[in-house]
Structure 1
Amino acid sequence: MQEQAFEKIKHGKGFIAALDQSGGSTPKALAAYGVSEDAYSNEDEMFKLVHDMRTRIITSPAFDSEKILGAILFEQTMDSKIEGKYTADYLADVKGIVPFLKVDKGLAEESNGVQLMKPIPDLDALLKRANERHIFGTKMRSVIKHANEEGIKAVVDQQFEIGKQIIAAGLVPIIEPEVDIHSAEKVACEDLLKAEILRHLDALDSDQNVMLKLSIPTEVNLYKELIDHPRVVRVVALSGGYSTDEANKKLKANDGLIASFSRALSQDLNVNQSDSAFNDTLAKAVDSIYEASI
């Protein structure tokens, strides 16, 4: 199972869908979907509504393994079911799509121009549960806002340290040190980031593999060396606040970089759409992101 999934992610044509909005970003995701905050009165009701939204996306005929290689889930989504199967099993068994899990607990306050991840105290237990739920890999996000060498080093050190814990648990980590697309120092941030990532990749053992999720670089093909690195399964790009069209255009210019978009995938979906309108809208987004990824 893991071997098949590894081959699909490494060599498959397509992109990875990010369906992992968490507690902090869920109200925003629901609002964009046409569900206002007065539609729920507590967290459980909110997560039920967002699971309904994700279920509608995942079960849509447009959400298909021909174009989508993997999907990143939030913890609650992993523990919820679709048509009687746990979400990851539904993705793998019914859709042929590889399941990933977001494992970070959000961002710490900014320091040295970056936001590290908050501590993940229950990570071992979460990874054990992820294995039981047949998850292939994980995702965790930090943010870089300024070209501060010390800050960027701290971000990459933390990502790889936790990444090795994830590898030891038998999963493939997606390491995501996002560079803020609005940073006035974006180019300098990306140069520092690439150097730090390469340093860590070169130090990995031959049986330690990672994925990378990065902001689309300003300098075209800046990350080609990372894409070609023997320890890297795949490099995927986040949309980072770009519109779908802009993200796709920038992605197309970078050889070997594929999408892992969240907002760009679902931005035109609405709870009040008929099934045919919803499926058509999703199909258009999937097709455009797929084209940009290949």
Structure 2
Amino acid sequence: MPDAAMRTRMRDGQGFIAALDQSGGSTPKALRLYGIDEDQYSSETEMFDLIHAMRARIATSPIFTGDKVIGAILFEQTMDRDFAGKPAATYLWEDKGVVPFLKIDKGLEEAANGVQMMKGIPGLDALLDRAVAKGIFGTKERSVIQSANAGGIADIVAQQVDLGFQVLAKGLVPILEPEVDIKAPDKAQAEGILLAELLKGVDAIPDGQQVMLKLTIPTKPNLYAPLITHPKVLRVVALSGGYDRAEACERLAVNTGMIASFSRALTEGLSAQQSDAEFNVSLGAAIDAIRAASIT
């Protein structure tokens, strides 16, 4: 079973989850926003070294602590690297009190039936075994809903739940992430369908086990309250989905019990050119704003 202290922190912690899991496709944009253009590196290896340096700067900042940031989602390469001379997951938990998660999905299929399903995950068992050995608490797996297609949404939830069963079997807690595109013209309708499918899906989780859910902030405030209070759901967290930090926080704050798991909205305003003092002030402002929206 996952570490009991980590589970308690995740259930009761008054804070949010930092999404530090940009993958190969999203890393160039993340670096550009951080002030590092593509002409400043010449290989994928250099690119991943630079994004790891950014993540390490965040994780090792004195501002980044478990009293406000209760969890962090890591990219696979980050799990295999160090923060401050310790394996990343070990450092996060032992030094910061931050519960470590691992992004395990390998990207999205082409759109069909109004959704993008997850691609297959080769070597999943071995990856989950490595995660357990490295002290990871749970996983995160993302797919995307682009319209209120009932069949497509049912398929996407079924895929998420099936993968969740595989993760639970390894003693890890899965974060199921069926994102609803914030630009979907029928976003509210899609979210209503998604809620009904997720309730069926989490009902099927074995007694005594729990999953987490990472969802787009709903158009209708508190739509996901039945999931937040569901006995088989450890926590419901929100993705920023392309909203800037101010709007994401404003939308999140009216959803009681839903906490943030932001990526771009967390790193907004951070720059490689900032001094450590400037960086920590900017990061601290982001953490405080996102935590405040998460504890409503």
Shared fold (TM-score greater than 0.5)? yes
Establish whether residue 110 from structure 1 lines up as the match of residue 111 from structure 2: yes
Establish whether residue 227 from structure 1 lines up as the match of residue 228 from structure 2: yes
1:126 alignment partner in structure 2: 127
1:292 alignment partner in structure 2: 293
* Structure 2 contact 56–83 (Cα < 8 Å) conserved: yes
How many Å apart are 1:16 and its aligned residue?
0.3
1:2 alignment partner in structure 2: 3
Amino acid in the other structure paired with 1:178: E
Distance in structure 2 (CA, Å) of the matches to 1:226 and 1:83? 37
Query: What secondary structure sits across from 1:260 in the alignment?
Result: strand
Correspondence 1:113-262 to 2 at 5 A: 113-262=114-263
CA deviations 1:141-180 (Å, max 9, x no partner) are: 0000011011001100000001000000010000000000
Establish whether residue 66 from structure 1 lines up as the match of residue 53 from structure 2: no
Higher mean C-alpha deviation, range 33-42 or range 135-144: 33-42
Distance in structure 2 (CA, Å) of the matches to 1:213 and 1:250? 15
Correspondence 1:269-288 to 2 at 5 A: 269-288=270-289
When normalised by structure 1's length, the TM-score is 0.99
1:14 alignment partner in structure 2: 15
Query: What secondary structure sits across from 1:175 in the alignment?
Result: strand
Query: What secondary structure sits across from 1:181 in the alignment?
Result: coil
Amino acid in the other structure paired with 1:171: L
Could you tell me the percent identity over the aligned residues? 58
CA deviations 1:40-76 (Å, max 9, x no partner) are: 1111111110000000000111111110100000000
- RMSD after superposition: 0.7
Unaligned runs of 5+ in 1: none
How many Å apart are 1:213 and its aligned residue?
0.2
Distance in structure 2 (CA, Å) of the matches to 1:261 and 1:235? 13
* Structure 2 contact 260–290 (Cα < 8 Å) conserved: yes
Query: What secondary structure sits across from 2:290 in the alignment?
Result: helix
Distance in structure 2 (CA, Å) of the matches to 1:5 and 1:177? 24
How many Å apart are 1:236 and its aligned residue?
0.2
CA deviations 1:8-39 (Å, max 9, x no partner) are: 10111000000000000001100110111111
How many Å apart are 1:208 and its aligned residue?
2.3
Greater than 6 Å deviation, 4+ residue runs: none
How many Å apart are 1:202 and its aligned residue?
1.2
Distance in structure 2 (CA, Å) of the matches to 1:84 and 1:46? 20
How many Å apart are 1:124 and its aligned residue?
0.4
* Structure 2 contact 60–84 (Cα < 8 Å) conserved: no
Amino acid in the other structure paired with 1:16: I
Amino acid in the other structure paired with 1:40: Y
Query: What secondary structure sits across from 1:207 in the alignment?
Result: coil
